[in-house]
Amino acid sequence: MLEVSLHNQPSEIAVAHEALDRIVAQHGLLGRAASRLHLAIEEHVTNIISHGYQSGRTGTITARFSLEGPVLQVEIKDDAEAFNPLAAPEVDTTLPLEEKPVGGLGIHLIRQSVDALEYRREGNRNILVMTVRVGDS
């Protein structure tokens, strides 16, 4: 298991990517599982930083990476405003670009990038767990 803490600043997203790269290298994981998780982490943490905190509010985001058998799991906790990304409506990807509403595409990309998503709120923290199978990568 590997855990990193980030401040709610865009420059901190790289810390989460570096941690994922470390666990992938440590366990000799190859294939598209890491790429899929990189995309999901980028989208989720960007959403937290961009939309979860009131302007000027300092926050903490924790990313925990664990590998159990053929499953790589990333748990991201934040102390931003309560938001359940699983409750967000599905994006209609068949609409022409000029008819698409603004927003929601990042959550759509997260859903498409991982094999399983779980959300819960504990106290004042959002917790999103993203799971990707690495055995068939």
Confidence of residue 120 (pLDDT cuts 50, 70, 90): very high
Distance CA 22, CA 52 (A): 27
Distance CA 88, CA 26 (A): 35
CATH code of the domain in which 77 resides:
3.30.565.10
Which tens digit of pLDDT belongs to each residue from 59-87? Answer: 999 999 999 989 999 999 999 999 999 99
Domain count, the chain: 1
* pLDDT greater than 50 at residue 32: yes
**pTM across the whole model:** 0.88
Confidence of residue 134 (pLDDT cuts 50, 70, 90): confident
- Which contacts of 21-30 are long-range, i.e. CB under 8 A and separated by 24 or more positions? 23/65, 23/67, 23/72, 26/2, 27/67, 29/67, 29/72, 29/134, 29/137, 30/137
The range of the structural domain enclosing residue 32 comes to: 2-133
